[in-house]
Structure 1
Amino acid sequence: MRPRLSTLRALPWLAALLLASGAAHAAGHLPAVTDVAAQTAAATKAGEPLVVLVSLPGCSYCETVRRNYLAPQVAAGEIAAREVDMTADTPIRDIDGTMTTAKKWARAHNVSVAPTVLFLDANGQPVANALLGLQGDFYGAYLEQALDTARAKIARK
C-alpha cells in the first residue's frame, strides 16, 4: 500500500511541529514539587539532595538558572531537581504528609527572592546554603560548591 501524496506532503510540517514542541518543552519548567517526602527520599536514595528552584512567573533570572544550570544537569541525570512557583496555589504534600500550597511552602522556607535554589535532604532539611538570585559569572561554581556540600552531608547520614 502506497502512502497518499497529501500524507507525504504533510510529513515536513509534522516534523517541524514535533521539533517545535520538543524545544518548547525543553525550555519549560522543571517538574513541579508535588510530594516533598517522596521526592526528597528518591533523591537521597541516589546520594543526591533534592534541588528545588523557587521561581516566579516571567522571571528572566529564574529562566536563566533553569535553562543554563539546572535543566542540563537534570537531562544528564546528574541531579534531581524540581520547581516551585512561589506565587502559586498549587498543592504540595509537605515532608510531614500535610497538604499545603506552593506559595505557603516557599514562605515556610523563608524564600523571599526569586530565583532561590534550595538543597534538601530526606527530611526536607537544607544541606547547603541556598543560592539567592543570580550571582553573575560565578553561578555555576556556586552551584557546584553547594551540590558538593549537600552530597557530602547526605553521604554522612
Structure 2
Amino acid sequence: MVGVWAAGADGPARAATRTLPLSKSLPDELNRALKAGQPLVVMVSLHRCPWCEEVRNNYLGPMHAEQALPVVQVDMRGTQRTVDAQGRATGHDALVKAWAVKVAPTVLFLGPGGREVADRLVGGSTDFYAAYLDRRLEQARKALAG
C-alpha cells in the first residue's frame, strides 16, 4: 500500500517507494530492451498522482528491480530532455503530446522504431491491474517474437 504507516519498535515505518529511471534516450533504451528480447515499457506519469505511485511502487518498480523488466518513466508535464525514437531531441511533455496520452498513468509497450507492440494500459485501477499488465506484456513479447 502506498503511504501506509505502521508503528514498530523503532517508530513509524513507511511503505517502500520505488523509483523508475527517467527516459533520456528512447533509441538507447529501446536498443537495450530489444537486445534482451523485451519490449521497452514506458510509464507516463504525473507528479503527486496516487495511481501513478500505485503502479510504480507495486507493479512496474518491482518488475524492473527483481525481473530486470526494461522500464522508463516519462513525466507528463516535465520538460526534462530526452531523445525520441527517431533520434530527435525533445522533452518529456512533447513526447506525451506526440503519443496523444491524456491520462496518467498510461503504460506503453514499445518495439522496434518506437512502434507500440501491445495495447496501452490506461489508468491505475488495482482491481485486475496485475492481470492486465501480464496480458499486455505477453502481447508485446509475442509481437516481438514475430
Max Rg structure = 1
Determine whether 1:65 maps to 2:55. yes
Check 1:149–1:82 CA distance in 2 against 1; reply closer, same or farther (3 A cut). same
Aligned to 1:120: 110
**Residue by residue, what CA displacement relative to the aligned partner does 1:31-68 show, whole Å, maximum 9, x if unpaired?**
01110111111101111100011000000000000000
Determine whether 1:84 maps to 2:67. no
Determine whether 1:32 maps to 2:25. no
How many angstroms apart in 1 are the aligned matches of 2:22 and 2:37? 20
Q: Which runs of 5+ in 2 are unaligned?
A: 1-9
Question: How many pairs are equivalent?
Answer: 135
How many angstroms apart in 1 are the aligned matches of 2:68 and 2:26? 19
Give the aligned residue type for 2:115: Q
How many angstroms apart in 2 are the aligned matches of 1:87 and 1:140? 26
CA contact (8 A) 1:55 1:85 kept: yes
Provide runs of 4+ in structure 1 moved above 4 Å.
none
Flag the structure with higher strand content.
2
Once the two structures are TM-superposed, the CA of residue 29 in structure 1 deviates from its matched residue by: 2.8
Tell me the percent identity: 42
Flag the structure with higher helix content.
1
SS at match of 1:147: helix
How many angstroms apart in 2 are the aligned matches of 1:105 and 1:54? 10
Provide TM-score, normalisation by structure 1: 0.81
How many angstroms apart in 1 are the aligned matches of 2:84 and 2:131? 30
CA contact (8 A) 1:62 1:114 kept: yes
Give 1:106-117 correspondences, 5 Å limit: 106-117=96-107
Q: Give the RMSD, CA atoms, in angstroms.
A: 1.8
How many angstroms apart in 2 are the aligned matches of 1:92 and 1:32? 9
How many angstroms apart in 2 are the aligned matches of 1:149 and 1:81? 16
CA contact (8 A) 1:37 1:94 kept: yes
